[in-house]
Each structure stands twice: as structure tokens, then as C-alpha cells.
Structure 1
Amino acid sequence: MAEWTNSPFFGVALSVAAFWIGVQLQKKTGLVACNPLLVAVILVIGVLLALRIPYENYNQGGSLINLFLSPATACLAVAIYSKMKLLKENWLPILVGCVVGSLVSMGSVLGLCRLFRLDEAMTASLLPKSVTTPIAVSVSQTHGGIPSITVVAVILTGIMGSILAPLLIRLFRVKDPITAGLSIGACSHAVGTSKALELGETEGAMSGLAIGVCGLVTVIFSLVLM
């Protein structure tokens, strides 16, 4: 077992297959809860546990996929550029929205960590949960956090955002695509942005923009809050 799982191709193949199954499952069921990323996470964990495959073996290939996180995030700039005119016309509400969104996210996490008396390492790990993984891990490590916990928090936040965002938009009757896109990007980074792109081109562009702005704001706020 260890021989064929001890190859980077195993981790890559398992991740791609699990995500493909998640995409097909969501297409067939139409259920928001069948988020492809959530399904992929569950399937990968299930396979590793069932076959007793060490995480280190899987991560040889899984770490290769992580290399694409930053380039994939940078590709969102294409959608932002296509809406440059809209961005120039609404730069002030966009900036204020991103700043407030980041402050509320980090403030709520900090308050809950203090309420439940979590230590500084755990607080630093959870604080940047609403920004994209490369930025979140960097912020976490800078302040003594645990990167693995940060990654889990970021993934769960993104999945919850992509599942709940369409429901909340309908519940609160959000009609403005700029507002919808910024709120999704500010709360659930790249995973939520994939859902925003499904809602519309403007929503996707604004959500992608929020990833960058909120990432920068989070870095600045972390210097003050931690």
C-alpha cells in the first residue's frame, strides 16, 4: 500500500477525483449543501482513514496543489479589470465595505476567543479565517499561530460562505450586485468568490476585489489587535 501511495501523483489524483465527484454530485442533486470542496474533503479523509494511508503520503501530492493557490487567486484580477469603470465609480463604498467587513470578522473572532479563554496561539490561528489561504497563513505564522488550524478555519469559512451566501442574499433581499459581491468576498474569500461568479460577472469581480482589499486590511488590523 505504501509503495503506490508514496508518490506525489497519488495525492494529486485523489484530490482531483474527489473534487470531480463533488462537482458531479452537486450537478445531479442541485443541493447547495453538496459543495464540491466539502464533498472532496470528506471523500479524501474517508479514503485515508479507510485504507490507513498516512497523511504524509497524501500530502506529497496535496502540497503540489497548494502551489496553485496564489496563482489562482491572482487570476481573479482578470474579472476585476473587466469592471474597472465600475470600480472607479464606486471606490469609496467599496473601500469602506471591505474595511468594515474585515473589522467585524476579526473583531468577532477576537471577542469569541477572549470569551472562551483561548490562548494566543489559537487566537492568532483563527483571526485571519476570512481571507485567502496564502495571506491567512502568513498572518497566522507572524503572530505565533498554528498554520494547520488556520488552513482548516479558512476552508470551513469558505465552504460555509459559498453555501449560505445565496440564501442570505435572498433573505435580506440584496439587489445590488456590488453589495452582494463585496459581502461574499469579504467573508468567504476565494471559495465564496467561485459562488459569486455563478451569481453574475459583477458579483464575481467585486468578490475578487474584496479578497485583495480585505487581505491587506487584515494584515494591518492584525498588527493592532494581536
Structure 2
Amino acid sequence: MMLYLALPLTILLYWLTRKLYQRIPLPFINPLLIPMVVLMLILHFGQLPLQDFMDGTWIINWLLKPAVVALALPLYQQMIHIKAKIKPIMICCSVSVVISILTSMLICRAMGIDEEITRSIATRSITTPLAMSVSESLGGIPSIAAAVVIMVGISGAVIGFPLLKLFGVTDPQAQGLAIGACSHAIGTAAATERGVTQGAFSSLALVVCGILTALIAPIMFAIYGLIL
């Protein structure tokens, strides 16, 4: 049954959540968060096979790749502004990557978490395929990296903009960079809904931070290993 209900149920939940958010614009009423939680509960308590759900929603999975490529459109539209501020953009993304990896190391160390898990968590702020690849090259567990990335992305999509507002960050370019650097593709989807500028700069941060993490993370973990 789930094979045939998976796609219409997913679309219906997404549509209903968007309509609810338009009426009650609260951060936790998120079109990504609410449908995901509801579907997880249905699969768990209904003891329904996950594979049937995956087979039933294959078209959504297929559309993920062209959807990511489509993020290049707002990036192209804002290219003039991006070129004019390329230096501060690179500095912000580099600092973001270093802080993300360093905080993962320090928190995991303070909590006595296994080093293999630490190497898996350290890539939490970049998009899933890159996070899995980088964490594996570091000696981490790709499946854990993927799960953490998804949780971080949803958290950023839900509370990212309220936090930016709380700290007085109102510039659309700065908002986009912050969301893309911390919440990768899921956060970028939320940023795109806020505006073209936020979406473009979030897309840029997503790409730049992914590349920088692949370059910086091995160096930081090599230093981390020498210190320990």
C-alpha cells in the first residue's frame, strides 16, 4: 500500500505544511521538518517497509540532482554582486569552515566521544555527498556523517533566520552566506524562499564551504592528531 501512497502523501503533507506556515509563520512549522516527522511516525508505528516508501517516491529522489543544479540560476543572477565582494566572501567561508571543524573537535573531545565519530561529525556543515566522502577520507563513518548533515540542515532551515534576526543580521547577502555555510542544501532551499539574493549567496557558500572543508579538514585533523 505504501508503494502507491508514498508520493501523494508526501506531496500532500508538504502542501499542507506550506499552507499552514503562510497562515502561522512560526519557525518550527517548516515544510521540511513537519512532513519528515509525520512520515517517520507513520512508517514506524505502521511497521511499513522503508523500501516501499523509497520506491514510491523515486521521482522526488530523481529530481534532487536537477534541483541542486537549478540553484546555479540565482547564483548567476547575482554574479555582479558576488564578484564585487569575493574577498570578504572567501574570508567568511574560510572562517566558517575552521569554526565548524574546530568546535566539533573540542566538543567531542570534552564529551569523550570516540575519534571515529568525531571525524564523522566534523563535516556536518557541508552538503551530504561531500560530507560522506570527506568523512570517509578522514577515517569517519559516512552513514553517521549523512545523518548528522541532515539534522544540521533541518535545524538551520528551521531556526537559522530567527537566530539571524535575533542577532541583528538583516543584510540579505550576509543571511545567505550564513545559512549556506552552516546548513548546506537544506538551508539553501529555505534561503531561496526568502529571496533571490539570500538563495544566491547561500548557494555560493554551500559550494565554497564544501570545497574548503575538503581542503582544510585533513590538515586540521593532522594537527589535532599531533597535539594529542
TM > 0.5 between the two? Answer: yes
Aligned to 1:73, which of 61, 68, 73? 68
Q: Deviations over 1:151-188 (max 9, x none)?
A: 22112211221222222222222233222211111011
Residue range with higher mean Cα deviation, 189-198 or 36-45: 189-198
Cα gap change, 1:61 to 1:114, in 2 (>3 Å): farther
What residue is the counterpart of 1:120 in the other structure? 115
Picking from 15, 30, 39, the partner of 2:34 is: 39
- Decide whether aligned partners of structure 1 residues 14 and 126 sit closer, same or farther in structure 2, where only a CA change above 3 A counts: farther
Q: Per-residue deviation at 1:142? A: 2.8
Matches within 5 A, 1:187-206: 187-206=182-201
Q: Which moved more, 1:202-211 or 1:139-148?
A: 139-148
Aligned match of 2:54: 59
> Secondary structure, in 3 states, of the residue corresponding to 1:117?
coil
Instruction: Tell me if structure 1 keeps the 8 A contact 2:27–2:162.
Output: no
Could you say if the C-alpha distance between residues 124 and 65 of structure 1 is closer, same or farther in structure 2, counting changes exceeding 3 Å?
A: farther
Query: How many angstroms does 1:216 deviate by?
Result: 0.3
TM-score for both structures, normalised by structure 2: 0.86
Q: Which segment drifts farther, 211-220 or 153-162?
A: 153-162
Of 201, 204, 208, which aligns to 1:209? 204
Q: Unaligned stretches of 5+ in structure 1?
A: none
More displaced, 40-49 or 142-151? Answer: 142-151
User: Corresponding residue for 2:215?
Assistant: 220
- Is the 1:70–1:134 Cα contact (8 Å) retained in structure 2? no
Aligned residue identity for 2:181: A
Return the alpha-carbon distance in structure 2 between the equivalents of residues 139 and 11 of structure 1.
Answer: 32
Q: Where do 5+ consecutive residues of structure 2 fail to align?
A: 222-228
Amino acid at match of 1:103: V
- 1:91 matched residue in structure 2: 86
CA RMSD of aligned residues (A): 2.1
How far apart, in 1, do the equivalents of 2:115 and 2:18 lie? 38
Tell me which residue corresponds to 1:106.
Answer: 101
Among residues 41, 45, 48, which one is paired with 2:43 in the alignment?
48
Task: Please report how far the alpha carbon of residue 56 of structure 1 lies from its aligned counterpart in structure 2 after TM superposition.
Answer: 3.4
Seq. identity, %: 37
Q: For structure 1, which segment, 140-149 or 197-206, has the greater mean C-alpha deviation from structure 2 after superposition?
A: 140-149
Deviation of residue 135 (structure 1)? 1.4
